[in-house]
Amino acid sequence: MPLDELNVLKNVGKDHFGFPYCHSGTMTDPEFGWGKSCADYVKPAVTLGPHAAPLGMRFYTGTMFPAKYRGQIFIARHGPWNRTQKFADVSVAYLDANSNVTKVEPFLTGWVKDNQYLGRPVDLLVMPDGALLVSDDHNGALYRVSYGR
């Protein structure tokens, strides 16, 4: 704990997601949360895992990938530095017609082997041809992810 979260800002200047009083929509901060209730804050659209470090995200605006990815959110989860079990991936948060997150699933995996990092995704860009660029600060690399038909 706490779980990292994806929030949807609907009321600019009014929405408060709880930090530093409330984390993950469920956990009051032991230092700053005294007298506060997580019920008083906007709930996360979805939680992304403990210390997932979601450093970059992009709405997919391309047309190279199958239609199910269009308008969805790609998230670079850098992964934890302080967890016993390591993880890192690029995930997709699927949205419904009302911009509610319906599910999150892995898209690009293989960043961890034998609980050691092979790479750590940082950010993403959608290229004009619809491919994704994924940066990796563990290897100092940039990967181009494309879809062949």
pLDDT at 149: 66
Range of the domain at 3: 1-49
**pLDDT of 2 higher than 90:** no
pLDDT at 100: 92
Domain co-membership, 59 together with 116: yes
Q: In this structure, what DSSP letter does residue 36 have?
A: -
CA atoms within 13 A on the CB side of 53: 14
Q: Report how far apart, in Å, the C-alpha atoms of 131 and of each of 60, 73, 120, 139 are.
A: 10, 14, 19, 20
Count of domains for the chain: 2
Domain co-membership, 9 together with 80: no
How many whole angstroms separate alpha carbon 98 and alpha carbon 130?
A: 24
Burial class (CB in 10 A: 0-12, 13-18, 19+), 149: exposed
